[in-house]
């Protein structure tokens, strides 16, 4: 159950980070309103706060989170940008998630 909770937190964190970066992209590259920077800043603040909710060392969280981020980014590409991911995109996601699993399942040394 704890693993599912952590994975869910990683997914929500990834969405917050992607939204925080996507909205300025819309402003800079597509000429959308600069007001998009307000929810972008809030999304990035949420992203940072969500990362702080993990009980383990920050470096390990960031490394493991990266695998989930790659997967969420490819789903974003498909769902939001309407670009069909390629086989190599999905293989990259699988490799990234495998790396995340190795990091999260590894032994922890006591300090």
Q: 101-110: b or e for each residue (b if 16 or more CB lie within 10 Å)?
A: eebbeeeeee
Number of domains into which the chain is organized? 1
pLDDT band at 111 (very low <50, low <70, confident <90, very high): low
C-alpha 21/C-alpha 58 separation (Å) is 21
Q: Does residue 111 belong to any structural domain of this protein?
A: no
Q: Is 80 exceeded by the pLDDT of residue 98? A: yes
Give the domain range for residue 101: 2-105
> What is the value of pTM for the model shown?
0.84
pLDDT, the chain, mean: 89
Q: Does residue 110 belong to any structural domain of this protein?
A: no
Structure confidence at residue 109 (pLDDT): 67
- In tens, the pLDDT along 26-75 reads 999 999 999 999 999 999 999 999 988 876 767 777 888 888 899 999 99
Q: Does residue 89 belong to any structural domain of this protein?
A: yes
Phi, psi angles (nearest 5°) of residue 30: -120, 5
């Amino acid at each position: 159950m704890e693993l599912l909770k952590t994975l869910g937190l990683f997914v929500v964190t990834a969405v917050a980070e992607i939204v925080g970066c996507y909205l300025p992209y819309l402003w800079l590259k597509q000429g959308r309103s600069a007001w998009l920077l307000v929810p972008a800043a809030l999304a990035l603040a949420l992203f940072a706060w969500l990362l702080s909710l993990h009980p383990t060392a920050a470096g390990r969280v960031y490394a493991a989170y990266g695998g989930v981020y790659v997967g969420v980014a490819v789903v974003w590409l498909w769902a939001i940008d309407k670009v069909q991911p390629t086989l190599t995109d999905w293989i990259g996601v699988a490799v990234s998630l495998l790396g995340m699993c190795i990091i999260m399942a590894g032994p922890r040394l006591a300090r």
